[in-house]
Chains A and B, each alone.
Chain A
Amino acid sequence: MDFDLSEEQRLLKDSVDRLMADRYDFENRQRYAKEPEGWSRALWSAYAELGLLALPFDEAHGGFGGGPVETMTIMEAFGRSLALEPYLATVILGGGLLHHGGSEEQKATHLPQIASGDLRLAFAHTERQSRYDLFDVGTTAQRDGGSFILNGQKSVVLHGDSADKILVTARVAGSRRDRDGIGLFLVDANAPGVSRRGYPTQDGQRAAEVTLESVRVDAENVIGNPEGALPVVEKVTDIAIAALAAEAIGAMDEMLKLTVDYLKTRKQFNTTIGSFQVLQHRSSEMFIALEQGRSMAMFAAMMAQEQNPEERRKAISAAKVQIGRSGRFVGQQAVQLHGGVGMTMEYKVGHLFKRVTMIDTLFGDADHHLSKLAETGGLMAA
């Protein structure tokens, strides 16, 4: 039992924190959001230079063999600064799917390109009817010799508009909600038959609707078993949830800090409003929600590497429930305690609130995960 960062992890944390402090204050962030892709190419290169884009991959593929704790460290810093770059989409999701599901050759081809910052990925799984069920896949993949022909439509593909390649779940066999029969395909974003419509998301990030019309995918771009990709997809989305939990903690931590600072400086009735007990108590409640969330983000980081998928999924669900609830409370109270200024686009706190709100809707909200957890017998059933 050890909650401390190792020496290497501490160095990583220091360098990420320094980079974000130097180059990612709120004014910069709003500037980056206006760049053509909705994020900063310059920062993307800086991440590559620091090795962040290679972090979770094996050394053989140009990576650093980092685990969920390293990811947590980075994501927390990103959450605090409201980073816009497609780190989750490219490194955690796309890179993770290749890392955990790809062949040696696929990894050797793509992972070094991610590491160098030259390849951006997205993961297309959500469909109009699927809500949060990863196995609910209506997009089809028809065998054609050694290739597959994909047809279907994917929604809310995070950073799908700027991705070079998109990982797509598609059904090779079975009916729409079967757990078996799902394949994972690496599709070139500019391949014939792929059309994309990009748009901003509520939290200032980017996503796309992706339509696939008779898109041919060759055998070399089939990731893993074409009829059994779900376990890898679930594993990687669980890792992504752990990463998002850390990002949410960074955002919540920043909201609490901004709120407490505001309460200590804002004057009404001839005194700082932070002298009022009702506001102090509310801040204490925000702190408790944050720390309970932080505990579960750590738990998620630990359990993301759990080998038993059922145990892993329960733990991740539990963490997502806590993060969803803590995020909602801290976010709503941060805006409330700021008063009118919290409602404005000019001020950071509202953007943090929007980000944690959207994190709740990624890969299953608190209710979704609570009922999943309850269905499978709860967290403590032996």
Chain B
Amino acid sequence: MDLRFTDEELAFRDEVREFFRTALPDSIRRKMIEGHHPSKDDLVTWSRILNAKGWAVPHWPVEWGGTGWSPVKQYIFRDELQQAPAPEPLAFGVSMVGPVIYTFGNEDQKRRFLPRIANLDDWWCQGFSEPGAGSDLASLKTTARREGDHYIVNGQKTWTTLAQHADWIFCLARTDSSVKKQEGISFLLIDMKTPGITVRPIQTIDGGHEVNEVFLDDVRVPVENLVGQENKGWDYAKFLLGNERVGIARIGISKARLKRVRELASVERIGDVPLIEIPRFREKLAAVEVELKALEMTQLRVVAAESRREKGKPDPASSILKIKGSEIQQATTELLMEVVGPFAMPYHPEEEGRNEPTDGPDWASTAAPTYFNWRKISIYGGSNEIQKNIIAKAILGF
């Protein structure tokens, strides 16, 4: 047992750190530090920089642009990217539908979609949740009826993140309603330009527009856009959700935010004393750091075990990563809001191109919206309560 990084891993860390230091455009880095959302252009720009370097999809098979890095190096890369802090490549493409396509898709689909995902030529969104199918995802009602060489899709998807930018949506739809609910679902790739698709924004409590409702009304989808076998979509969805949990601890993001909390707390003063020197505050901060270190070690344990696991079988321990990772990220947003103090109050709607001055220190305006927005992370990706069900079942054997 040796929990230190090897010299080779440390050299690799320095290499990626240096790359992020020089290759990430300053304007994007600034936005990330200050807690603003990167724009679509930002993400496209950054994804193409990564792709040019060959690092857009490190975890993919080498033939489709992967790097062949060990799980530890994959972890280091992600951690450094988050700490840069750089935007993460669009998860719906590179972490969700991409792996489904290269694992279960046919050769045509791989050739057609994978390179465009890596380069963010296609912006993907996720058509899983429905108004009546959240945690109980398998009860989804959207239907896909076969008609010649097309499926006719009808239904409503919701919580569809960044669908307003999307070129494609991967959808779960019911192709057989006469069987057990998990056994009649298929996984379809749908062009967002297809007639019959309507996207309606949902404004979230932070004031932002990230999520949408997507209505599908007699949408004609060529059968060649079915992934894998008809009625096997639930297996692919489980595979996808398991992958989603692995990267979900986002330890680098919490590290970056704690660094920011520390910096700002040494500037903000109560009387003459910097906030960081107030024992109550710094102990609260230290407590979050301890939890984060524990989570980092847990993450590394999962990563180290990954090379021995059967491909496509997520470690049920990754549910810990989801639960603690989200709790810690949320705790960091609370600390940041506490540092900002009274200047958490002014509300500045985040609009692209807006350049009026903010009320209060310019770093304060995102604190409260980030706190509000981050409540989502214990809900999405299988809510933390669902994760506890998974631990109880898969690990404790209830």
A residues apposed to B, CB below 8 Å: 1-6, 9, 69, 260, 263-264, 274-275, 277, 280-281, 283-285, 287-288, 291-293, 295-296, 298-299, 301-302, 318, 321-322, 370-371, 373-375, 378-381
Does B353 have its Cβ within 8 Å of any Cβ on chain A? no
Does B177 have its Cβ within 8 Å of any Cβ on chain A? no
Interface string of B274-297 (1 = CB under 8 A from A): 000001001101110111111111
Given that A1-B3, A287-B396, A296-B293 are known contacts, is A280 also in contact with B388, CB under 8 Å in the complex? yes
B287-A3 in contact (CB<8A): no
Partner of A379, one of B5, B289, B300, B301: B289
Binds A, one of B52-60, B108-116, B207-215, B316-324: B316-324
B286-A292 in contact (CB<8A): no
B293-A318 in contact (CB<8A): yes
B297-A378 in contact (CB<8A): no
Give, as a whole number of angstroms, the nearest-CB distance from A71 to chain B.
12
Does B392 have its Cβ within 8 Å of any Cβ on chain A? yes
B300-A3 in contact (CB<8A): yes
A371-B9 in contact (CB<8A): no
Give, as a whole number of angstroms, the nearest-CB distance from A271 to chain B.
12
Give, as a whole number of angstroms, the nearest-CB distance from A12 to chain B.
12
Q: Which residues of A contact B287 (CB under 8 A)?
A: 321, 370
For the complex with contacts A299-B293, A322-B291, A379-B293, 13 further pairs of A-B residues with Cβ separation under 8 Å are: A2-B304, A6-B1, A275-B398, A284-B392, A288-B320, A288-B324, A298-B3, A302-B3, A318-B289, A370-B287, A370-B290, A373-B290, A374-B286
Does B395 have its Cβ within 8 Å of any Cβ on chain A? yes
Give, as a whole number of angstroms, the nearest-CB distance from A56 to chain B.
16
Give, as a whole number of angstroms, the nearest-CB distance from A120 to chain B.
30
Partner of A371, one of B283, B295, B317: B283
B305-A3 in contact (CB<8A): yes
Please give me the 5 A-B residue pairs with the lowest Cβ-Cβ distance, nearest first: A295-B297, A280-B392, A284-B391, A284-B388, A374-B286
Within 8 A of A (CB), among B291-346: 291-298, 300-301, 303-305, 317, 319-320, 323-324
B residues apposed to A, CB below 8 Å: 1-6, 9, 72, 255, 258-259, 262, 279, 282-283, 285-287, 289-298, 300-301, 303-305, 317, 319-320, 323-324, 385, 387-389, 391-392, 395-398
A281 to B387, CA, bound (A): 9
Q: Which residues of A contact B396 (CB under 8 A)?
A: 260, 280, 283-284, 287
A283-B398 in contact (CB<8A): yes
Q: Which residues of B contact A260 (CB under 8 A)?
A: 396-398
Partner of A2, one of B1, B292, B388: B1
Report which residue of B298, B324, B385 has the largest number of chain A beta carbons within 10 angstroms of its beta carbon.
B298
Q: Which residues of B contact A3 (CB under 8 A)?
A: 1, 3, 300-301, 304-305
Q: Which residues of B contact A277 (CB under 8 A)?
A: 389
Given that A1-B3, A292-B324 are known contacts, is A281 also in contact with B262, CB under 8 Å in the complex? no
A9-B1 in contact (CB<8A): yes
B297-A2 in contact (CB<8A): no
16 cross-chain CB contacts under 8 A? A1-B304, A2-B1, A3-B301, A260-B396, A260-B398, A280-B388, A284-B389, A284-B395, A295-B298, A296-B290, A299-B293, A299-B294, A322-B294, A373-B290, A379-B289, A380-B255
In the complex, residue of chain A having the shortest beta-carbon distance to the beta carbon of B255: A380
A145 to B389, CA, bound (A): 70
B9-A1 in contact (CB<8A): yes
A275 to B398, CA, bound (A): 7
In the complex, residue of chain B having the shortest beta-carbon distance to the beta carbon of A303: B3
Q: Which residues of B contact A379 (CB under 8 A)?
A: 286, 289-290, 293
B1-A280 in contact (CB<8A): no
Give, as a whole number of angstroms, the nearest-CB distance from A197 to chain B.
37
Give, as a whole number of angstroms, the nearest-CB distance from B273 to chain A.
14
Partner of A302, one of B4, B258, B285, B320: B4
In the complex, residue of chain B having the shortest beta-carbon distance to the beta carbon of A380: B289
A288-B391 in contact (CB<8A): yes
A374-B392 in contact (CB<8A): no
Give, as a whole number of angstroms, the nearest-CB distance from A158 to chain B.
26
Q: Which residues of A contact B5 (CB under 8 A)?
A: 1
B3-A299 in contact (CB<8A): yes
Q: Which residues of B contact A370 (CB under 8 A)?
A: 283, 286-287, 290
A292 to B317, CA, bound (A): 11
A284 to B323, CA, bound (A): 11
A298 to B395, CA, bound (A): 21
Q: Which residues of B contact A380 (CB under 8 A)?
A: 255, 258-259, 262, 289, 292-293
Given that A1-B5, A1-B9 are known contacts, is A274 also in contact with B398, CB under 8 Å in the complex? yes
In the complex, residue of chain B having the shortest beta-carbon distance to the beta carbon of A1: B72
A298 to B304, CA, bound (A): 14
A291-B389 in contact (CB<8A): no
A295 to B297, CA, bound (A): 5
A283 to B375, CA, bound (A): 24
A381 to B289, CA, bound (A): 10
A299 to B3, CA, bound (A): 8
A287 to B397, CA, bound (A): 12
A167 to B54, CA, bound (A): 60
In the complex, residue of chain A having the shortest beta-carbon distance to the beta carbon of B390: A284
Q: Which residues of B contact A263 (CB under 8 A)?
A: 398
Q: Which residues of A contact B317 (CB under 8 A)?
A: 291
In the complex, residue of chain B having the shortest beta-carbon distance to the beta carbon of A6: B1
B285-A378 in contact (CB<8A): yes
Give, as a whole number of angstroms, the nearest-CB distance from B72 to chain A.
5
Q: Which residues of A contact B300 (CB under 8 A)?
A: 1, 3
Q: Which residues of A contact B259 (CB under 8 A)?
A: 380
Q: Which residues of A contact B395 (CB under 8 A)?
A: 284, 287
A378-B1 in contact (CB<8A): no
A288-B2 in contact (CB<8A): no
Partner of B398, one of A2, A264, A374: A264
A378-B255 in contact (CB<8A): no
In the complex, residue of chain B having the shortest beta-carbon distance to the beta carbon of A285: B388
A260 to B255, CA, bound (A): 34
A65 to B359, CA, bound (A): 63
Q: Which residues of B contact A381 (CB under 8 A)?
A: 262
A370 to B397, CA, bound (A): 35
A183 to B310, CA, bound (A): 56
Given that A9-B1, A288-B323, A302-B3 are known contacts, is A295 also in contact with B294, CB under 8 Å in the complex? yes
Give, as a whole number of angstroms, the nearest-CB distance from A290 to chain B.
10
Q: Which residues of A contact B392 (CB under 8 A)?
A: 280-281, 283-284
A299 to B294, CA, bound (A): 8
Q: Which residues of B contact A296 (CB under 8 A)?
A: 290, 293-294, 297
